[in-house]
Amino acid sequence: MTAAPKKVPIPRNGIDYRGKVVLAPMVRSGECPSRLLALKYGADLVWGPETIDKALIGTTRHVNTVTNTVDFTRFSSNGAKNPAINADQRESVIYRLHPEREGKRLIYQIGTSNPETAVQAAKLIAPDVAGIDVNAGCPKPFSTSGGMGAALLKTPEILCSILRALVTEVGEPNEIGISVKIRILETAGQTEALMRSLCATGITGLTVHCRTTPMRPRERAIRDQLKMVANICRESGVACLMNGDVTSRDEALGLVSEFGCDGAMIATAAETNPSVFRPESQGGKAPWEEVVKEYVKTAMEVENRWGNTKFLLGQMVPGKHQIYRAMTHTKSYTEAVKALGYEAVMLDLARKVDQALEIGEYDKPKLTKAERKAANKGAKVSGKQERAGKEEVQRTAAGIKRTAEMAELDMPPDIARDSGPASVPEQASALAV
């Protein structure tokens, strides 16, 4: 009898990647409404966009009763040098997920170059997701400059130490799987050596993007190493997903069968029309008009950040269509609903969301550069006076004068300044990572 193929046990709260066609992690294109729409049209699992570990560390977890989401937030400095004294500061949403609609079908992708910070961040979100995936494939400078993303392919010992730490300190306690997403290396021998090291760390899944680090999305994926990667994963019992130039569920399943993988990711094709996850037997890809309408509705239901929604609409509405030009000039959900012709069914909701997000007609006046400078200067003087008062009290009570610098040593660090308020720069272009 033929022995059953080896299979790494899937943790109780985790999920098996085998037999799945999933949404790839994409910067700006993998936010909550995009993921929900992909699931609606048949995606089996969804990856969130890479979120850097230091961005999540220091956030506060909130249950948002308005949107029915779980939000990980931190206060935004809004350009102020001292955000602690800015009374008008808003909490920035670093990561948002929908527990009811995404359930345990969401994989959190982490950007990291350090086992300690990776574990610290992953512990915060592990109870809310089905798995943690390490990004070791993004070639963009915002990732590689910090030793993250594809830079980890050059430091496999660090990558393996991150995976082992996540498996033992996050995966096992929370009973979820840890996985990694990589790119192929220049030679099959290099890829094979990396694969064997990664599969020995205790991970349950691995995704291979069939491009090398220097390659860009416009270049065709190369699949000559794919069967070898799939075979090594199978020998180790690790589920193997493929990524690169996959445009539909039916194509994905055909490629999985041809190359012996366990599943596939869809990236840019899903960015422009997430209904690509629907098989031809159930109607296949839906018209863009249907998808855009559903996307706008979903984005408003979760109060998605307007800039992100507008970016995605720019990908989903055909550039030559007359609506595209009108849509690109909108500055709020209300304006977008009008431009797209959805007033009859969405106008009231759009106004409500605009008010909640303080955009459009509800946008608050912004401080000028001079006004911010004056406010920071006043806050600095006020802070010095407050510290001086404390020092006087200490000198009088104890007979010892402590300087302001000495007093500040007892203060906790400003985590917002250390960690940064977002996962990636707002101006970063969409990218499958």
Cα–Cα distance for residue pair 43/31, rounded to 1 Å? 15
138 is catalytic: yes
CA quadruple 420, 425, 426, 430: dihedral, nearest 10? -140
Write phi, then psi, for 302 (nearest 5 degrees): -105, 10
Cα–Cα distance for residue pair 377/136, rounded to 1 Å? 43
Cα–Cα distance for residue pair 164/173, rounded to 1 Å? 13
CB 8 within 8 A of CB 233: no
Catalytic residue among 32, 138, 233, 261: 138
CB 102 within 8 A of CB 125: no
Query: What does the DSSP assignment read for 301-367?
Result: HTT--HHHHHHHHHHHS-TTSHHHHHHHT--SHHHHHHHHT-HHHHHHHHHHHHHHHT-GGGPPPPP
Any idea what DSSP says for residue 421?
Answer: S
Reported as type and span, the H/E element at residue 195 is: helix 188-199
Query: Which contacts (CB < 8 Å, 24+ apart) does range 267-272 have?
Result: 267/24, 267/26, 267/243, 267/432, 268/26, 268/217, 268/430, 268/432, 270/23, 270/24, 270/29, 270/38, 270/43, 271/26, 271/29, 271/34, 271/312, 271/315, 271/430, 272/315, 272/316
Give the count of beta carbons closer than 10 Å to the beta carbon of residue 32. 28
> In the numeric block, which tokens belong to residue 410?
């007892």
CB 332 within 8 A of CB 359: yes
> In the numeric block, which tokens belong to residue 50?
């890479």
Active site residues: 138
